[in-house]
Amino acid sequence: MIEIIQISDLHYGSEFREDLIENIISYIKKIHPDLVICTGDIVHKGRVIQFKNVVQYINRIKELSNFIAVPGNHDAKNSGIIFFEKLIGPRRSRLVLEDKDSIIVGICSARDDMAEGMIGDEQLDWMGRQFDRNLEDRVIALHHHLIPIPMSGQKFTTVRDAGEILEFTNLFEIDLVLMGHRHVPHAYTISWRNSSSTTFLYCGTSTSNKVRADDSPSFNHIFLNGGNLEVYIVNSANLKKSLLLERKEQHTEFIRPRKTRIEHLLASKVWDE
């Protein structure tokens, strides 16, 4: 079994909240996950000063856990990808955890000053070569969406070549795809004809006030074990956990991301005013 914390869209430099990143670091310290993955937009404008300031938090997480980050469109603004690679990590990477029977691959969907994303043939080819090991749990992380999600606005949010990557997840029997981008927690599971399943999991903004409607900043706590998957959304402010998805042996028995979110929004004090 592999235990993962997914954080996303930290947006250092705009509406970033230090109290939330401190909460997340203390949560990571407490549970000792096998891996922390950040699915992009670590900084808001790709500025070198933003990367220099946020790296203190990233380094503290790296001291506590394995760590992978992929760049988001905001990291890539103003040629910021250079500083991302210098201070945070490579734009694409692979982590093999032999003892956990797991392989995790992070890919770069961000392009300089472009809001939409793309993977490209060369990277797709590279991605294929990373899954050369027959390990049980297979995870891909990227910033942009592969499938649009509800209540995330009407902008174009998917990578241009989403079809190629979706087919890849089927062919390579990927268990889990992690994404960020629109600050909306959500999940889909596709059961393929070859009887494998892939869950597409989206993370909210973990450390900023850039939420949609009256949502809370949040991160995902994930347990993946040979096709079985359990995901909790954790509120970054009070660390309250709610079950988002439970998938058992290629079959999703319980999934209610939209219901959870709508209930949360309807419970908002906004309606009393």
Site string for Fe ion, 153-172 (x = CB under 5 A): --------------------
Instruction: For Fe ion, give the closer residue by CB, 89 or 180.
Output: 180
Burial of 249 (C-beta count, 10 Å sphere; 0-12/13-18/19+): exposed
Smallest gap from residue 10 Cβ to Fe ion (A): 9
Structure tokens at 272: 């009393």
Spatial distance between the Cα atoms of 3 and 146, rounded to a whole number of angstroms: 23
Element housing 138 (H / E): strand 137-141
Instruction: For Fe ion, give the closer residue by CB, 94 or 183.
Output: 183
Burial 81-114 (b: 16+ CB within 10 A, else e): bebbeebbbebbbbbeeeebbbbbbbbbbbbeee
Smallest gap from residue 40 Cβ to Fe ion (A): 7
Smallest gap from residue 226 Cβ to Fe ion (A): 32
Smallest gap from residue 183 Cβ to Fe ion (A): 6
Choose the binding region for Fe ion from 3-11, 29-37, 110-118, 129-137 (rule: CB under 5 A): 3-11
Q: Are 46 and 78 in contact (CB under 8 A)?
A: yes
Instruction: For Fe ion, give the closer residue by CB, 157 or 235.
Output: 157
Instruction: For Fe ion, give the closer residue by CB, 153 or 163.
Output: 153
Among 2, 4, 5, 9, binds Fe ion (CB under 5 A): 9
Instruction: For Fe ion, give the closer residue by CB, 102 or 208.
Output: 208
Q: Are 260 and 242 in contact (CB under 8 A)?
A: yes
Helices (H) and strands (E) counted in the chain, each on its own, are 6, 13
Burial 31-48 (b: 16+ CB within 10 A, else e): eebbbbbbbbbbbbebbe
Spatial distance between the Cα atoms of 219 and 241, rounded to a whole number of angstroms: 10
Instruction: For Fe ion, give the closer residue by CB, 74 or 221.
Output: 74
Q: Are 27 and 234 in contact (CB under 8 A)?
A: yes
Smallest gap from residue 203 Cβ to Fe ion (A): 10
The size of the interface with Fe ion (CB under 5 A), counted in residues, is 2
Q: Does 230 bind Fe ion (CB under 5 A)?
A: no
DSSP 254: E
Smallest gap from residue 14 Cβ to Fe ion (A): 10
Site string for Fe ion, 19-58 (x = CB under 5 A): ----------------------x-----------------
Residues near Fe ion (CB under 5 A) are 9, 41
